[in-house]
Structure 1
Amino acid sequence: MVDPVVRRGKSKRRWVFAGIVLLLVAFVWYRHSGHDPGSYGGRGRHGMLPSQVVGVAKVESGSMPVVLDELGTVTPIATVTVVPQLSGYLTQVAFTQGENVTKGEFLAEIDPRPYQIQLEQFQASLAKDTAALAQARSDLSRFEILARQQSIAEQQVTDQQFLVQQDEAAIKIDQANIDTATLDLAYCHITSPVSGRIGLRLVDPGNFVTSASTTGIAVVTTVAPTTVIFSVAQANLAPVLERLGQGAVLPAAAYSSDDTTKLEDGTLAAVNNQMNTSTGMVQLRADFANTDEKLFPNEFVNVHLLVNTLDHATLVPTQAIQSGVPGDYVYVVNADNTVSVQPVTTGPSDGTKTVITKGLTPGQTVVIDGVDRLTEGERVTIASGPSGPVAPGASVAPGASAAPGATAPKAADPKPSQNGHHHRRDENGSSGAASTPASQ
């Protein structure tokens, strides 16, 4: 006979097991009956799958300028250190520091008196040797007459001819000494070798200067016109050389160091003849008129070199392009309001728009906002602007309000790959990793 206590324990366990089974059946029915609109894969009150709210934009056809943005240095055409070419005391400095000077303008003077005295000495030597030459030529004339009369020896005439030649050579030496002394006097009067802006005075009046000095008196730098030297990578050199080979004039614009203010327009003038093997860069020089002198010598500037313009290019907003396991890709909105992952090949970009060389055609619609919540084949709802729902293909800025009654977005795997991260390209074309939120 079974103990009544044992019988009651077994009956209690059967009731507990039956209750658990009923709870499981109720939970499964609840999950598939549409009463939980927030569950992943469930249906809402109207039996429709919940959709993500996204902003979209149309793929367009347009022009894209191919511009190289490089850091450059304003390099004057000429920078000249004015050094004395002879020794003496500096008696006068006539320039104002920091002013613009013209070529040949008087700058400073070295005491000219010693060189003036030396010039007078050479002039006296010339006068003496000139008189000696005149006497030698007169004697030669008389000797030639006497020689024809056979009154003197022929040797005496020959010796007199050599004496005349010596006096002629002495006169040439005297004239060269005079020219040298005259040049020294000119060097005492120091002038600007080029037009430009003169710097600070390096030597004060009263100092003794020499031709061996490397410091100089001042430095003159040309300001207008001027040049900017910048470097481009090896990969970007071929298009530049190709355009130059076609005879094209490539415009270059100089911007401030923060790349916000345009300073001057110019043109590419020259490409260096060799590559820097340590950096893989080659130097280029652009010419600028700089009439308003906004480009300051040795200033760092940003150079925007327009290499080419792509016409009828396929353009998409840069934020639509994602990076992941398949490479660069976008989410394309299909006719049934679902999205598909479309791998693309990108081209040049201006930060706002990017050229697509393969994978898209103008007229398609791509997702630009809410991309991190999408998966392949997911249904989407196009976000609304302030005046109502946005037409398919119209772009919506991040933060725009969704259509009334739209389902709140839920987190989902944003990539077609199986890992836990994706790379999102920002407006400047760079990519950064972003973690994937867990599914609700």
Structure 2
Amino acid sequence: MSAAQPSTPRPASSLRPRKSPWPKRAAIAVAVLVLAGAGWHFYSQRSAEEAAGAYRTAKIERGDIRVTISATGALSAISTVDVGSQISGQVIDVLADYNDHVTKGQVIARIDPSTYEAQINQGNAQVANARASLATAQATLRNAELDYQRKSSLVKDQLIARSDADLARAALEQARAQLNGAQAQIEQQLASTQTSRLNLQRTVIRAPVDGVVLTRSIEPGQTVAASLQAPVLFQIAEDLSKMEIVLAIDEADIGQVKPGQAVNFTVDSFPDRKFRGAVQQVRLSATNTSNVITYPVVVAVDNADGVLLPGMTANAEIEVSHRDDVLRVGNAALRYKPDDDAAAAAGAPAGGAGGQRGGLGGDLPRVAEQLKLDANQRAAFDAALEQMKQRMAARAGGAAAGGASGGPPAGGAPNIIMGGRGPGGGGGNNNRNRAAGAVSGAARQRMLERFNQQFGAFRALLSDEQKQKWDSEVGALVSARRAPLYKLVGGKPEAVTVRVGASDGSWTEVSGNIKEGDEVVVGTGRGAK
């Protein structure tokens, strides 16, 4: 029997169950997918950031817009009186000086009265002489009357010739004429003396009004010559608590200036202080300076504290329009114009009559809030607004169908950006602009007529004051200018047409298919070509 051979022990590894390679491969695949997803997300995010970084943007925000017209002028008293002299002579007293407050009738200067006193004495003597001549004429007249009476009775008795009676009658009439001449001479001498007395009174110069002496042009001992023109001795400002500024406004801006508009101004003496006034008068007397036409505008200023002085230069701003809490955008966004490729990618701006009506639907509630409507008026307005929105929705559906068929939208109008130039924008071909302007004007008129029909029942319920404000606001909305903006959506610009309102040079009021917080393109980024 052979010896048993020991059995060879199996390796320990051969005793363990063998693991499947699939879990490891799945984990690797999941890791690869996660890394690929992360890479794609990073790439997409980076591409979006790069696309957004290709443009410089600004946000639509709410704020106030003040439209002003700047001009300069000089402060002056409302009433300034030049005090002169009607007579010539030597000044013997000057009783008022610069900045003195004077009252009406107060003596402010005297001229030597000796010449006029001598003239009065001479006139008195001439009057006395004329009265003596009058007495002589009276005596002669009495004698002539008696002689004529005697000779008339003798002629009746035929004691003297009739010729003698005729001579006596002629002497009587001559005596009467001499008497009348003597009386006239007395009146003449009295009038001459009265003139001398008036000139004597004029040697005393009195203040014609209450006020302040601005200028004094004479000194004691100076001779005043008033032969051809009355020399100005003093200049008196009647009331410096009320002053005025005369501004020279360019003809391009004068149409916006109306009496009652607020005016803010500063003077160099008080640079940190703002003063207020109001437009009092727009004068029609135009001034042509180097072919530049300006009109004077008078601004009334309250100077109760007396800090403003005549002659100060005022840097004024006339507030011609003030819009509170409106959507506004920087003017750089309205000046931005993309190149041809970017414009094609952005799409043509939505304009035309349909877009305009849609924008009106968003602005009309704001207008209605200003009218302070009652319940009946509010119900009529809401009904008319809802009907307008339904009509626009129906027309939008028809326009979409018309566009899909390749033709123009059904019942639609050509896309026209109204108003020509926008803020900071440029003009195109003159003929094209004129044609577009003509079509835009006709479209505005048609739209205004349709609008009046749609809201006719509502308007009939308004008071006269509400009707006036409603018509004014609606007219402004209909005739508002249009301009394109480019909103940044998903890193790409999207064209949209907005209504352009008031502008202060930096910000412009806008309304339409935009809202507060929207980002609009104002320019290309540094990395953009």
In the other structure, the counterpart of 1:280 is 293
CA distance in 2, matches of 1:360, 1:259: 41
| Percentage of identical aligned residues | 22
Q: Does 1:255 align with 2:266?
A: yes
Q: How far has the Cα of 1:345 moved from its partner?
A: 5.6
Determine helix, strand or coil for the equivalent of 1:303: strand
Q: How far has the Cα of 1:194 moved from its partner?
A: 4.1
Q: How far has the Cα of 1:353 moved from its partner?
A: 4.3
Change (3 A) 1:361 1:119: farther
Choose from 310, 313, 318 the match for 1:305.
318
Q: Is the 8 A contact 2:213 2:235 kept in 1?
A: yes
Q: How far has the Cα of 1:174 moved from its partner?
A: 1.0
Q: Does 1:205 align with 2:213?
A: no
In the other structure, the counterpart of 1:120 is 121
Q: Does 1:160 align with 2:156?
A: no
Question: Which structure is higher in strand share?
Answer: 1
CA distance in 1, matches of 2:172, 2:262: 78
Q: Deviations over 1:271-313 (max 9, x none)?
A: 22336371132222223343333442232213333445568x8
Determine helix, strand or coil for the equivalent of 1:261: strand
Task: Please show how residues 345-424 of structure 1 align to structure 2 within 5 Å.
Answer: 346-350=500-504, 353-356=507-510, 360-361=512-513, 363-367=515-519, 414-415=523-524
In the other structure, the counterpart of 1:229 is 246
Q: How far has the Cα of 1:175 moved from its partner?
A: 1.8
Larger radius of gyration: 2
TM-score by length of structure 1 reads 0.62
CA distance in 1, matches of 2:48, 2:299: 62
In the other structure, the counterpart of 2:235 is 219
Change (3 A) 1:290 1:44: closer
Unpaired runs of 5+ residues, structure 2, are: 1-36, 153-164, 339-424, 426-482
CA distance in 2, matches of 1:202, 1:147: 68
Determine helix, strand or coil for the equivalent of 1:127: helix
Q: How far has the Cα of 1:71 moved from its partner?
A: 1.8
Unpaired runs of 5+ residues, structure 1, are: 1-31, 373-413, 416-435
Q: How far has the Cα of 1:108 moved from its partner?
A: 1.0
Change (3 A) 1:49 1:76: closer
Q: Is the 8 A contact 1:259 1:302 kept in 2?
A: no
Change (3 A) 1:310 1:127: farther
CA distance in 2, matches of 1:138, 1:100: 61
Question: Which structure is higher in helix share?
Answer: 2
Q: Is the 8 A contact 2:498 2:513 kept in 1?
A: no
Change (3 A) 1:198 1:361: farther
Q: Is the 8 A contact 2:282 2:295 kept in 1?
A: no
Change (3 A) 1:134 1:181: same
Q: Kindly report the root-mean-square deviation, in angstroms, between the aligned alpha carbons of the 2 structures.
A: 4.1
In the other structure, the counterpart of 1:129 is 130
Change (3 A) 1:322 1:307: closer
CA distance in 1, matches of 2:276, 2:487: 42
Q: Is the 8 A contact 1:90 1:209 kept in 2?
A: yes
Choose from 213, 238, 242 the match for 2:255.
238
Determine helix, strand or coil for the equivalent of 2:292: coil
Amino acid at match of 1:231: A
Q: Does 1:324 align with 2:336?
A: yes
Q: How far has the Cα of 1:181 moved from its partner?
A: 1.0
TM-score by length of structure 2 reads 0.52
CA distance in 1, matches of 2:330, 2:138: 95
Q: Is the 8 A contact 1:314 1:360 kept in 2?
A: no
In the other structure, the counterpart of 2:204 is 189
Q: Is the 8 A contact 2:327 2:516 kept in 1?
A: no
Q: Is the 8 A contact 1:54 1:367 kept in 2?
A: no
Q: Does 1:437 align with 2:520?
A: no
Q: Does 1:271 align with 2:298?
A: no
In the other structure, the counterpart of 1:106 is 107
Q: Is the 8 A contact 2:286 2:293 kept in 1?
A: no
CA distance in 1, matches of 2:108, 2:97: 9
